[in-house]
Amino acid sequence: MAVWLIECPDCGHRYQSLVMEGTTPPMVWCCSHCGGCNAMPLNKTTDQHPLEQAHSGGCPCCGVIKLRSRSA
């Protein structure tokens, strides 16, 4: 997988986007802040998913979410 750093020229927002291995990066990048579709990739790394680095349990959006059991 590759993590891309994206910057929006409309609002200046920078964010990361994950592109899975074996897939094609988007032809149009839309800003996650203002919704404009003029965002441009600045660079690409082959790092882990950003949440994988901070949480050894995996990414909550991509992996299995563990639900708390209710005590009776």
Please give the model's pTM, rounded to 2 decimal places: 0.59
Predicted confidence at residue 61, as pLDDT, reads 57
pLDDT tens column, 38-52: 999 988 765 555 555
Q: How far apart are CA 29 and CA 9, in angstroms?
A: 11
Q: Which fold has domain 2-54?
A: Rubrerythrin, domain 2 (2.20.28)
- Largest Cα–Cα distance in the chain? 53
Phi, psi of 51 (to 5 degrees): -80, -20
Residue 68 binned pLDDT confidence (cut-offs 50, 70, 90): very low
Q: Does the structure show a pLDDT above 50 at 67? A: no
Position 72 pLDDT exceeds 70 = no
44 close to 26: Cβ distance less than 8 angstroms: no
